[in-house]
Chains A and B, each alone.
Chain A
Amino acid sequence: MFRDAALMAGKDLRIEWRSRVTTQQILPFAVLVILLFGMALDPDRGILARASSGLFWIAVLFCSLLAIQRAFTIEAADGGRDALRLSGLDPAGVFLGKAAAIAVQLIALEIVLAMGVVIIYGARITGFPLLLATCLAATAGLAAAGTLYGVLAAGLRVRETLLPILLLPVLAPVLIAATRAFEAALGGVAVEGWPWCGLLAMFALLYLIFGTLAFGTLLEES
């Protein structure tokens, strides 16, 4: 399973490296979202600083949708989905590999977005370990749930429009918990962030387990 996951993740990341979709399309989109929020709320930088956690994760959420769509678009072209089914790869490995590739891209995006939030919104990082742990846990959850719903939507004709409708409600707990944990890490609101981080880790673990078990069936049946 882990060998297949490494093979799949390596392939997806190589495709992204060659196509530059993440760096030339998704990343500029993410920066634009951060800039537009900044412009919209600019008259009062106090609001920007207070809302920076939520705005950061909303931007990450939008980017996740694009990254997940992209991860399954490359499989939809020229019979890739059937080839994947015929490959003999362990479906659990395919799930973990695709989720890992999405997670790597999201981490890279989050680093740039975090710099944007600090520079443009004037946010101050006060709890770096919590910030790092939150990013890792939330990203794992986004990637795992996204991969699961991505394969579900990929078999449908209206996948481009259906995926956000299916996925965003599912990811609402990630948005809430990650925002709360970030608020603590950015020192904006005096709440304890670690329980929220634990909730994110639990969400990620559940979807990783569920995805590992269900991905094969979804790949076959959807």
Chain B
Amino acid sequence: MESVIHLRGAVTVLGRFPALAGIDLEVAAGEIVLLRGSNGAGKTTVLRLCAGLLPVTRGEAIVLGHDLADRRGGRDLRRRVGLLGHATGLYDELTVTDNVRFWGRAADAAAGDIDAALVACGLVGALADRPVARLSAGQRRRTALACLVSRRPELWLLDEPHAGLDQDGRDLLDGLVGSAVASGATVVLSSHELERAEALADRVVTIVAGTTDVSVAAGEESFLVP
């Protein structure tokens, strides 16, 4: 099966410190892969690397056919990737609809896709016209999710996506992930809510030993490039 993410011995050095010291990871198209690991293990760094936000210092890193070592063409990659991180990237002064429209249009999303994303994330009625500054943490998260959904990315990178969401929000997120995969997207997520995330994922990859090693859940060794 075609690899959406191919990392082999990928090293990322930030300043003088190795944030990743040789990550190996293969993710096939249409997979849902959970990255598991303790705080500081490097889950977020892997996601940011795959989004093209961090440089690969050594090793191979190819995402959606784009070699991350080649800084040209990064813009095309980023249009095809959606990252939901700890920070939402939302503008407090703008309304929910304004934010989703802006980030959607930035990625050339159709008006219909933007409206559909708002509805899919439950951002309708008075909530859609509320400034982001007046939203709860969970509502902010939903808005950020709607921004991502409106872009219809081929690769979803979700960093602790369940954090801050209530039960309905978590169910909604899981449903959106399922729909995205059904329509051909690939999903890599990190989460400390292992029970829910593992139920969602096809495969679990464990990042251990302070970002320097990768292992997988029992019975899934064939996916690991040692």
A interface residues with partner B (beta carbon < 8 Å): 4, 7, 11, 14-15, 18-19, 74, 77-80, 82-91, 220
Contact = CB atoms under 8 A, between A and B. Distances in A.
Contacts of A85: 53, 78
A138 to B, nearest CB: 28
Interface residues of B, number: 28
B86 interface: yes
B106 A78 contact: no
Given A85-B53, A86-B81, A90-B75, A7 B106 contact: yes
A79 B78 contact: no
Contacts of A82: 53, 83, 85, 87, 89
B93 interface: yes
Given A7-B106, A11-B102, A79-B85, A86 B78 contact: yes
Contact of A83 (B79, B89, B94, B108): B89
B136 interface: no
B131 interface: yes
A5 to B, nearest CB: 12
Contacts of A89: 106
B90 interface: yes
Given A4-B106, A83-B103, A87-B103, A15 B93 contact: yes
B183 interface: no
A88 B52 CA distance: 11
B105 interface: yes
Contacts of A18: 93-94, 131
Interface in B92-133: 92-94, 98, 102-103, 105-108, 131
B177 interface: no
Interface string B130-143: 01000000000000
Given A7-B102, A79-B85, 5 more contacts: A14-B98, A18-B94, A79-B86, A84-B89, A220-B71
Contacts of A4: 106
Q: What 5 A-B pairs come out closest when comparing CB atoms?
A: A79-B87, A83-B89, A88-B79, A87-B106, A18-B93
Contact of B91 (A11, A86, A91, A220): A11
B51 interface: yes
Nearest to B140: A78
B57 to A, nearest CB: 15
Contacts of B78: 85-88
A99 B105 CA distance: 20
Contacts of B85: 79, 82
24 contacts: A11-B94, A14-B98, A15-B93, A18-B94, A74-B91, A79-B88, A79-B89, A82-B53, A82-B83, A82-B87, A82-B89, A83-B87, A83-B88, A83-B89, A83-B103, A85-B53, A86-B53, A86-B89, A87-B103, A87-B106, A88-B79, A90-B75, A91-B75, A220-B71
